[in-house]
């Protein structure tokens, strides 16, 4: 009986060993990645502790998934994590490869940011340059993000020890930011796009739209925001705690434009409060006096034709010294009260090119 030559066996054994090794590595890869990420979260974020429950690898599309990503203040008394990202997909943005750039596409499903006042007060101050918690994320996502999509997101501000407890939130957040690394060179000066929608406490409708240039050290920005149809009674826990007033009825709209060009900021915030009523039948005498005073101030600064309290708060100047012009704000209130009502829409009065000229003049 003749034996098979060794070189023929080698042609079978070696590929088999390589195949077994690759399969073993593929099976172990998610566990190795999970161990690495958890070590990063345990050691790279001073003042915080973090973990990830599961890591999935999709080699065929150059992607990985992080499930159960949590980041929490190490000195927090509450059980709410600062970041709660249940489902996340990080992949190579294949369209950018056609332009010769290797960048990432990130999709976050139902992410939550919880800002708990008591936990933030206990958090020690840290140096932003070396101890910023976002630096841990850059180690987890090692290539630049060019496209970011958020679906079903929530941002919450909570104060748990107040009486009553305060819970302000924006949910159903849908965000899409594209061309963040300027992979596609367009003709405009703001190559990146941003759109955001959401629903707030009090069923307010949030809309943000604009352009960005994040490549610059101080990014250029040109965005407009509308935050409309907010039921003020939903904020009674907040206003009762901080101002000792509550709303029986009322509606708030908030409009804003913000432009940053060559480190120079110009913009405004325009709140409009409609059809407010503050004093309830069961209020105490002292509370009624205070709420009556607030109601009187609203009467003085209310447009007489449509019962709207409005102001336009300008913001302008160097980013290191953004100035809110108080007296001009009061003047706008008086003008609205006795001359004309502000329009219920974004004014579209801030022009990116004009801000560039003003920034050059100011320097």
Which range, of 82-96, 247-261, 282-296, averages the lowest pLDDT? 282-296
C-alpha–C-alpha distance, residues 144 and 135, integer Å: 12
308 neighbors 341 (Cβ within 8 angstroms): yes
C-alpha–C-alpha distance, residues 287 and 152, integer Å: 39
Query: How confident is residue 87, by pLDDT bands cut at 50, 70 and 90?
Result: very high
- Taking residues 232-245, report their average pLDDT: 86
Most confident of 132-136, 143-147, 274-278: 143-147
Beta 145-159 vs 112-116: how paired, if at all? parallel
Query: How confident is residue 125, by pLDDT bands cut at 50, 70 and 90?
Result: very low
- Taking residues 167-172, report their average pLDDT: 94
The pLDDT tens digits for 106-122 are 999 999 999 888 777 66
Residues 6+ apart with CB under 8 A from 246: 233, 236, 239, 240, 278, 280, 291
Give 163 or 188, the one with higher predicted confidence. Answer: 163
Using the 8-state DSSP alphabet, how is residue 298 labeled? Answer: H
Instruction: State the average pLDDT for the chain.
Output: 80
**Structure tokens of 357?**
């000229």
């Amino acid at each position: 009986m003749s034996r098979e030559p060794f070189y023929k066996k080698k042609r079978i054994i070696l590929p088999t060993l390589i195949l077994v090794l690759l399969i073993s590595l593929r099976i172990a890869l998610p566990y190795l990645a999970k161990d690495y990420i958890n070590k990063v979260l345990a050691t790279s974020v001073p003042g915080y502790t973090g973990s990830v429950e599961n890591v999935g690898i999709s080699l065929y599309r150059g992607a990985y998934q992080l499930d159960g990503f949590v980041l929490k203040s190490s000195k927090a008394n509450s059980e709410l994590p600062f970041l709660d990202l249940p489902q996340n997909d990080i992949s190579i943005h294949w369209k950018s490869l056609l332009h010769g750039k290797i960048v990432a596409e990130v999709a976050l499903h139902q992410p939550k940011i919880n800002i708990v006042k008591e936990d933030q007060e206990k958090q020690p101050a840290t140096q932003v340059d070396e101890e910023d918690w976002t630096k841990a994320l850059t180690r987890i996502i090692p290539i630049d993000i060019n496209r970011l999509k958020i679906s079903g997101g929530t941002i919450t501000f909570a104060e748990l020890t107040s009486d009553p407890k305060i819970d302000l939130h924006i949910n159903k957040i849908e965000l899409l930011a594209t061309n963040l690394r300027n992979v596609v060179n367009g003709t405009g000066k703001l190559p990146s796009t941003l759109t955001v929608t959401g629903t707030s406490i009090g069923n307010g409708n949030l809309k943000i739209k604009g352009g960005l240039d994040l490549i610059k050290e101080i990014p250029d920005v040109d965005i407009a925001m509308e935050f409309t149809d907010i039921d003020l009674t939903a904020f009674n826990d907040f206003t009762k705690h901080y101002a000792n007033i509550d709303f029986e009825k009322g509606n708030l709209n908030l409009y804003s434009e913000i432009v940053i060009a060559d480190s120079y900021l110009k913009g405004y915030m325009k709140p409009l409060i409609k059809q407010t009523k503050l004093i309830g039948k069961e209020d105490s005498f002292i509370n009624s006096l205070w709420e009556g005073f607030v109601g009187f101030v609203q009467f003085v600064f209310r447009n007489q034709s449509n019962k709207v309290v409005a102001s336009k708060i300008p913001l302008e100047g160097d980013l290191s010294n953004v100035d809110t012009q108080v007296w001009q704000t009061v003047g706008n209130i008086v003008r609205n009260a006795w001359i004309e009502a502000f329009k219920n829409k974004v004014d579209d009065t801030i022009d990116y090119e004009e801000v560039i000229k003003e920034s050059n003049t100011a320097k």
